[in-house]
Structure 1
Amino acid sequence: MNVEDSQGAFRLELGVTGFRDRGDPLLPSTDAQTCRAAWYAAARAACGQVEDFTEQEYPQNFHSATISDRDGTRIALFHAHYPLIAFVGDRRYWYTDEFQEPPTWATALTDVGFVVFSAAQLLSPLTESDTPALSATEWRQIEHWRPETLGATLFNSWD
């Protein structure tokens, strides 16, 4: 997954919304056990404790997890199809503009291959993203749900 192209726009890969055309290949999967292991490594880096790790359930396209450390509680969303992570303030069914900056210990997640987004990236308008790889099915979902931000497109509960 390319984080940015040469102009700095995030490239959305085929299936990143969690939808695909019948003729498209199956969506990739970010293994929940890999995500969980990375989250435990992050907890060690934070000198914190894993409170939970909840695997993705339809229609959400993300796993969610919580760490408590001396600075409070941190909640992360792990994309179910690509190694992408967003931090949020609280648990919700879906997200639009509730994204937060990752804590400094989130480098433990990037060290094992995850892309950890900043709040600014997630709150950037979808129109500023590189989207040619998205399928017609994904565009129909985007037109229906009308996400305004990159984060709302990547971490969704569309059905």
Structure 2
Amino acid sequence: MLILYSGITGILSASSVKEKEFKQICYSLLGSNVLEFIENGTLKNFYECIIKLKGKNIHILLNRHYPFIAFTSARELNVLYFPFIDEPDLSKLFEQYYKVLSVYQLNEPLTYTQKGKNIIVINENELNQGELKELVFWKPRTIGEVVFNYWD
């Protein structure tokens, strides 16, 4: 399945997934389990909702440019990587609205090479030239680090 669409990183792309709609869906599906929405910073390419489920905090991440969603365990907010988790119950709730990405998909190693100015990504992708340059600069290791990032 193609995940690395052109614009997924937020480089040379306008937001196409609406934050207000994401909040409404979270509240309608999870109600009082919603603890907080982390406000959208200019450096991150995703929306984030923290919920309490079965006694633990879970972060729900939604890419701002494509309707891809993922779940992470509690983390430090200033840490730039995510401990992705599979949550089958949450997946069932959200799959009618978004494409839920699995831990397997998100932790797939990102493989690319650079020869001069040419950057070649081995993983299936449609990344634009600006995004390819950002890969070299930020050095993400996985698909998940590309889809959910803090690149400026």
TM-score by length of 1: 0.79
1:18 is aligned to 10
Kindly indicate whether the alpha-carbon contact (under 8 Å) linking 2:109 and 2:142 is maintained by their aligned counterparts in 1.
yes
Aligned length, in residue pairs: 141
1:107 is aligned to 92
Query: Which AA in structure 1 matches 2:4?
Result: L
Q: 1:136 aligns with which of 115, 129, 136?
A: 129
Distance change (3 Å), C-alpha of 1:97 and 1:71: same
Kindly indicate whether the alpha-carbon contact (under 8 Å) linking 1:11 and 1:129 is maintained by their aligned counterparts in 2.
no
Deviation, structure 1 residue 30: 0.9
Deviation, structure 1 residue 71: 4.0
Kindly indicate whether the alpha-carbon contact (under 8 Å) linking 1:75 and 1:89 is maintained by their aligned counterparts in 2.
yes
2:43 is aligned to 59
Query: Which AA in structure 2 matches 1:130?
Result: E
1:7 is aligned to none
**Cα distance in 1 between the residues matched to 2:3 and 2:63:** 15
**Cα distance in 1 between the residues matched to 2:28 and 2:91:** 10
Deviation, structure 1 residue 119: 1.0
**Cα distance in 1 between the residues matched to 2:78 and 2:134:** 17
Query: Which AA in structure 2 matches 1:135?
Result: N
TM-score by length of 2: 0.82
Question: Within 5 Å, which residues of 2 pair with 1:5-154?
Answer: 10-20=2-12, 26-43=13-30, 49-91=33-75, 92-93=77-78, 95-96=80-81, 98-112=83-97, 114-127=98-111, 129-131=123-125, 133-154=126-147
Gaps of 5+ in 2: 112-121
Gaps of 5+ in 1: 5-9, 21-25
Deviation, structure 1 residue 57: 1.0
Query: Which AA in structure 2 matches 1:155?
Result: F
Q: CA RMSD in A?
A: 1.9
Deviation, structure 1 residue 102: 2.4
